[in-house]
Structure 1
Amino acid sequence: MDAANIITIILGFFILSAIFASILIFLENRDPSRTLAWLLVLMVFPVVGFMIYLFFGQNIKKKKIFKMQKLYSDIKASKIFDSIRDFENLIEIQKQAIMEDLIFVDPEIDIKRRIMNLLLNTGRSPFTLNNKIKILKNGDEKFECLIEDISNAKEHIHMEYYIIKDSQIGNRIKDVLIRKSREGVAVRILYDDVGCWNMWFKRGFFKQMQKEGIQVEPFLPVFLPFLNRKLNYRNHRKIVVIDGKIGYVGGINIGDEYLGRSSEFGFWRDTHMKIEGEAVYMLQLTFLLDWYFSTKHKLFDPKYFPPISYCGHDVMQVVASGPDSNWEAIHKAYFTAITQAKKAIYIQTPYFIPDESLLMALKTASLSGVDVRIMFPGKPDHKMVYYASFSYFEAILKAGGRVFIYDSDRFIHAKVMIVDDEVASLGTANMDLRSFMINFEINGFIYSKDVVLRLKEDFMDDQEGCREITIEEYNSRGIVQKLKESTSRLFSPML
């Protein structure tokens, strides 16, 4: 058989595979925009498209991969909630309390009731009243506070990160964790195998901790992760739980760039929060579920949910979402908050790729007189996502919304939404389809006005360092820029 025949057979195989993949995508009943995008790629570029689909597009049935019903059965069998409160009954009690206006009696804050009830129904996320929230602006504040709390740990330290780097701050944290492990504190670390692709070349970082008794495990390990940095179903969460009483969540991973030490990005603006109180229970539960999924080790024990005395009066819901859920809880909470807004919607995000529902909600809010502002970086860290994001600003600007571009000498990575000075969301989810529908994410929805106003104050401070784009300036973009944006937008449902 000559070379020409071999090539013909190979091409035929890929074309048939692309046709088969197209049929599968069609039958999966995905979002129409995602379906059309994949079908377009497979039809125009059958060979390359099929390879891309193998790496990024497979929508393997969630029930076969993430057997959450078994996890919930294990939770109930372990009776971990016997020492705090019955979980299922708590959800029902809280729904009834919201319906009977036992939580908020001010009719002007109906938005809180709607979001709370939505998250009780979609995210199995009880709200908690006994919390103290501390907003941490930038890596310096987060890491100094975190290291101090780790140093004071008595029982256990649970850490879950999308990115952990062998860096100055990474080694500083590693040294503290090793010291605590030697003192008898149980330390467990869960990292995403794709997010931490760089550790494939620096295995000594984790091995040193493992030799000291620290348990370090990858989430959904893949073959050669450094070649597959966009694989689906990644764990994008950033969680720390210390002794079951102190928790951290937000946008800051572990790396020197988050301290402004990157020559590429310069000053890195981000937002994290420290939580003391009952909301930590949900951070703990999320970690334990992810740990069980990755290791099959059951840690559902009451000792990880110790009694918590009065911490403060901050009200919040911690919401985990991902492909293991029947509902995209964070996405739906964003949609509800935006559609219920009466005065203002302020969004900070490094990526802006909304689906049609969120884009329509934002446009409708702006057209109805709501002050819609979106803050976005002035430099890209992922160019295709960056250009795709820019293509969506036209609709926002035409509807009367405002777009602010952060100083191009600095980078903003904060993931914050503030609505009507009444509700704020802070966590790991970006304003994009990957965060809402593919990755494992976790956000805190905050209902305490003083905390919400603090986040608004930070937004306004950041706005001072931004350049506002007008519709005239946007329309004057060059043809090259427009081509980049249009091409990237075609792939946006897959990004």
Structure 2
Amino acid sequence: MILTWNVIKWLLITIVVINEIAALFTVFREKRDIAATWAWLLVLLLLPVVGFIIYAFLGRKLPQRRLERIKSQTQLKLKQAVDRQKVQFQNMPKPKHSTAQMYRRTVMLFQSLDNAFLTRHNNVKVYIDGDKLFQQLFADIEAAQKSINIEFYTIYNDQIGNELRTLLEQKAAEGVEIRVLYDSWGSMGVRSDFYNGLRKRGGYATPFLMTHSNFIDFRLNYRDHRKIVVIDGKIGYVGGFNIGDQYLGRVKKFGPWRDTHLRIIGGGVYSLQQRFIRDWNASVKHQESRIKHFRRFFPEIKLDKSQLRNETSLQIVSSGPESPQENIKLGYLRLINAATDHIWIQTPYLIPDDSVIDALQVAAHSGVDVRIMVPCKPDHPFVYRATQYYARVLANHDITIYFYENGFLHAKTIMIDGRMASVGSANLDFRSFKLNFEINSFIYDRNMTDKLEQIFVNDIRSSRVITPEMFANQSRWLRFKQTFSRLLSPIL
């Protein structure tokens, strides 16, 4: 009996030692920022063996060859237009009006970071209700004559997912070019054969940069979180909604779903189309499946008089782990630092890095009205507890925190000073900044920003302010869960 316990003891010691050596090798063999390095060391050292299983899902980076697929995709002829636009902006006299100066500096930032083209003539409509959004989207798809390009993180095999698939099969049978790009993890449960009917009718569907099986490639990181639809090269959609019944409030767990999405007609559609084509060409396995003849995907777009009366200037900005800088996060910082009156933010996940926290605190202590709205319920337990932790930290720095209580808040919006705004797929968290492929629309228009701010004001009526005193009165156990989750924030 004594011999057996000695064997078990030495076996456990051996496992711990091997685990510690393996943890150090695993974490330091790949370049990471300091926060992520310490977070993974904590997981791997405190959870022997189990930590490596977690790492297999959350820690492994994409193979370089896959990132090269994205990097190698040319930006088509839009890059030439961006280069010309850069020169024009540099040669323009410095504007005297503060708003014009703000616009110019932000535009130049995205031109430099992402070769993002500024489009001035766009008709933009905001959707916050899933039923109305999908009604309009399906109507636009039904009216399509030439092409439909769709890219989503999530397309579920449920009622709305099957309705979309049936409609796409119908349009493919009519001769419309159909391409569907989906994330294999975000669309969990949907196998490749879900799209066999579409393929039989001449359409195409493929997973983004990944294998067709999550059992073979089970990374939770580096996912395609973008939501893009482009119809006939003339109508575009971008925002926070995915394709699934929960996004129409049909899932009891979440209740009513509150999100924000844009429908765009105008030059901004060209940027959405370019992003889709680059993602598509990087994802398909065979050369013959790539889009090579681009001209037909970029037709001339003409707005009628009613649309021109409400035109909006915007830039479409994308970011992802293939880029050396965090484009959308830098855009968020630009907006926060440019604000002089107010900053209003909606995000389902509030897990900002130090640079964003510092920027928000500087703004609040400088007299800027900073308000942040997050959901009152979780969809991911650790992520939600980390969100609560950062909400508590920011509430202690004169930042107003709202918990939205009428269902689940999934909108990703930032509005500043009634002058600029951002709507897209990127959350205010590490994952969107560093790990996912994201896309946002940055808007330079008072009227559109005012609409978004009115939506925020309306949402306040369904929200509860959480004060520093209320956070202080939370139980010790809840605060422990929040603090522990915060330690994992770089990898959540």
Scaled by the length of structure 1, the TM-score of the pair is: 0.91
Give the match's secondary structure for 1:273: strand
What are the superposed Cα offsets for residues 393-423 of structure 1, whole Å, 9 maximum, x if unpaired? Answer: 122111101000011x511111101011111
Matched residue, 2:469: 472
Shift of 1:454: 0.4
Shift of 1:34: 1.1
* Alpha-carbon distance between aligned partners in 2 of 1:331 and 1:115, rounded to the nearest angstrom: 13
Q: Does 1:321 align with 2:319?
A: yes
* Alpha-carbon distance between aligned partners in 2 of 1:269 and 1:294, rounded to the nearest angstrom: 31
Matched residue, 2:371: 373
Letter in 1 for 2:447: D
For the 8 Å contact 2:70–2:279, the answer to whether it is kept is: no
For residues 461 and 104 of structure 1, do their structure 2 counterparts lie closer, same or farther at Cα, with a shift above 3 Å needed?
farther
For the 8 Å contact 2:56–2:218, the answer to whether it is kept is: no
For residues 92 and 228 of structure 1, do their structure 2 counterparts lie closer, same or farther at Cα, with a shift above 3 Å needed?
closer
Q: Does 1:236 align with 2:238?
A: no
Give the match's secondary structure for 1:234: coil
Matched residue, 1:489: 486
* Alpha-carbon distance between aligned partners in 2 of 1:8 and 1:188, rounded to the nearest angstrom: 57
Shift of 1:488: 0.9
Deviates more, 1:224-233 or 1:246-255: 224-233
Structural mapping, 1:7-406, within 5 Å = 16=18, 19-23=21-25, 25-26=27-28, 28-60=30-62, 62=64, 65-72=67-74, 80-81=76-77, 87-101=78-92, 106-200=97-191, 205-222=194-211, 225=214, 231-296=220-285, 297-300=289-292, 301-310=294-303, 312=308, 313-406=311-404
Structural mapping, 1:448-467, within 5 Å = 448-467=445-464
Deviates more, 1:448-457 or 1:2-11: 2-11
For the 8 Å contact 1:446–1:452, the answer to whether it is kept is: yes
For residues 10 and 189 of structure 1, do their structure 2 counterparts lie closer, same or farther at Cα, with a shift above 3 Å needed?
farther
What are the superposed Cα offsets for residues 368-402 of structure 1, whole Å, 9 maximum, x if unpaired? Answer: 11100000111111111000111011221111010
Aligned residues: 480
Shift of 1:250: 0.6
* Alpha-carbon distance between aligned partners in 1 of 2:95 and 2:145, rounded to the nearest angstrom: 37
For residues 62 and 119 of structure 1, do their structure 2 counterparts lie closer, same or farther at Cα, with a shift above 3 Å needed?
farther
Q: Which runs of 5+ in 1 are unaligned?
A: 82-86
**Percentage of matched positions with identical amino acids:** 40
Give the match's secondary structure for 2:145: coil
For the 8 Å contact 2:443–2:449, the answer to whether it is kept is: yes
Shift of 1:207: 2.4
Letter in 1 for 2:416: V
Deviates more, 1:431-440 or 1:305-314: 305-314
Give the match's secondary structure for 1:188: strand
Give the match's secondary structure for 2:312: coil
For residues 461 and 372 of structure 1, do their structure 2 counterparts lie closer, same or farther at Cα, with a shift above 3 Å needed?
same
* RMSD (Å) for aligned C-alpha atoms: 2.6
Q: Which runs of 5+ in 2 are unaligned?
A: none
Give the match's secondary structure for 2:32: coil
Shift of 1:346: 0.5
What are the superposed Cα offsets for residues 301-330 of structure 1, whole Å, 9 maximum, x if unpaired? Answer: 211111222463310000111011121100
Letter in 2 for 1:440: F
For residues 156 and 15 of structure 1, do their structure 2 counterparts lie closer, same or farther at Cα, with a shift above 3 Å needed?
farther
* Alpha-carbon distance between aligned partners in 1 of 2:12 and 2:236, rounded to the nearest angstrom: 53
Shift of 1:105: 5.3
* Alpha-carbon distance between aligned partners in 2 of 1:128 and 1:13, rounded to the nearest angstrom: 59
For residues 254 and 103 of structure 1, do their structure 2 counterparts lie closer, same or farther at Cα, with a shift above 3 Å needed?
farther
Give the match's secondary structure for 1:308: coil
For the 8 Å contact 2:210–2:217, the answer to whether it is kept is: no
Shift of 1:95: 2.6
* Alpha-carbon distance between aligned partners in 2 of 1:209 and 1:368, rounded to the nearest angstrom: 56
* Alpha-carbon distance between aligned partners in 1 of 2:138 and 2:9, rounded to the nearest angstrom: 58
Deviates more, 1:477-486 or 1:302-311: 302-311
Deviates more, 1:8-17 or 1:471-480: 8-17
Give the match's secondary structure for 1:34: helix
For the 8 Å contact 2:153–2:182, the answer to whether it is kept is: yes
* Alpha-carbon distance between aligned partners in 1 of 2:202 and 2:395, rounded to the nearest angstrom: 54
* Alpha-carbon distance between aligned partners in 1 of 2:264 and 2:16, rounded to the nearest angstrom: 51
Letter in 2 for 1:347: I
Shift of 1:123: 1.3
For the 8 Å contact 1:97–1:103, the answer to whether it is kept is: no
* Alpha-carbon distance between aligned partners in 1 of 2:461 and 2:88, rounded to the nearest angstrom: 41
* Alpha-carbon distance between aligned partners in 2 of 1:403 and 1:373, rounded to the nearest angstrom: 6
Letter in 2 for 1:247: G
